[in-house]
């Protein structure tokens, strides 16, 4: 007896990821509308974890020359997007306690959504169009790394400047 593997057909292969992404981004957008504490000493954690993931991915399946070039360009583009994304984050300093808080911007979520959609399309339809999926994936990883890192660098610099202006530089 042979077992036949059936691939999802038509609309389902697109609907399921779109529904999952919509749910995740709806929850994320709701969370971003609330003020949250901003801890300057913890801003490095997400980029460091993501750097480890990207490094492990590149070590496990080393990119070719063109993929390295694409990843370098994507890292630079991601850094530029990340800087803008960081600028969109609202940062507040309590005038009395000098405690920092942050509130995300819905536009920042749209940046992430756009990247995921591009990656999904490139991996789904890209194969049939002749895209090198590994190159697209490596570039997407580098883009996200640049974005996550520079978002936090911009937030750190701005929050530190705001604290210094408020006279609470030691509260970081």
Say if residue 151's pLDDT is above 90: yes
CB-CB contact of 113 with 21 (8 Å): yes
Domain that holds residue 31: 12-171
> Residue 156 falls within a domain, yes or no?
yes
Domains of the chain: total: 1
If pLDDT is split at 50, 70 and 90, which confidence band does 88 have? confident
Average pLDDT, the chain: 82
Instruction: Tell me whether residue 137 is in a domain.
Output: yes
The CB-side HSE value for 37 (13 A sphere, CA atoms) comes to 9
How far apart, in whole angstroms, are the C-alpha atoms of residue 76 and residue 96? 39
Asked whether residue 118 is assigned to any structural domain, the reply reads yes
- Residue 80 tokens read as 């530029």
Asked whether residue 84 is assigned to any structural domain, the reply reads yes
Q: Identify whether 33 is part of a domain.
A: yes
Q: What is the pTM of this model?
A: 0.73
Q: Is residue 3 part of a domain?
A: no
With pLDDT > 90 as the criterion, what percentage of the chain qualifies? 41
* Residue 35 reports pLDDT greater than 90: no
Is 5 inside a domain boundary? no
pLDDT of residue 56: 93
Strand, coil or helix: 12: helix
| CB of 142 closer than 8 Å to CB of 78 | yes
Sole residue written with tokens 């999802």? 8
Which tokens belong to 23? 């749910």
pLDDT at 171 over 50: no
Tell me if 44 is assigned to some domain: yes
């Amino acid at each position: 007896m042979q077992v036949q593997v059936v691939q999802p057909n038509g609309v389902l292969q697109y609907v399921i990821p779109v529904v999952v992404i919509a749910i995740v981004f709806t929850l994320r957008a709701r969370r971003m509308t609330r003020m949250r504490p901003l801890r300057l000493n913890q801003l490095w954690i997400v980029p460091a974890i993501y750097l480890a993931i990207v490094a492990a991915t590149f070590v496990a399946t080393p990119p070719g020359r063109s993929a390295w070039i694409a990843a370098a360009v994507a890292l630079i583009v991601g850094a530029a997007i990340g800087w803008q994304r960081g600028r969109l984050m609202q940062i507040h300093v309590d005038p009395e306690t000098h405690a920092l808080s942050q509130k995300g911007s819905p536009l920042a979520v749209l940046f992430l959504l756009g990247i995921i959609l591009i990656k999904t399309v490139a991996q789904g339809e890209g194969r049939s169009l002749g895209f090198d999926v590994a190159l697209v994936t490596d570039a997407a990883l580098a883009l996200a790394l640049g974005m996550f890192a520079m978002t936090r660098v911009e937030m750190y610099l701005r929050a530190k400047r705001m604290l210094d202006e408020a006279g609470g530089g030691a509260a970081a």
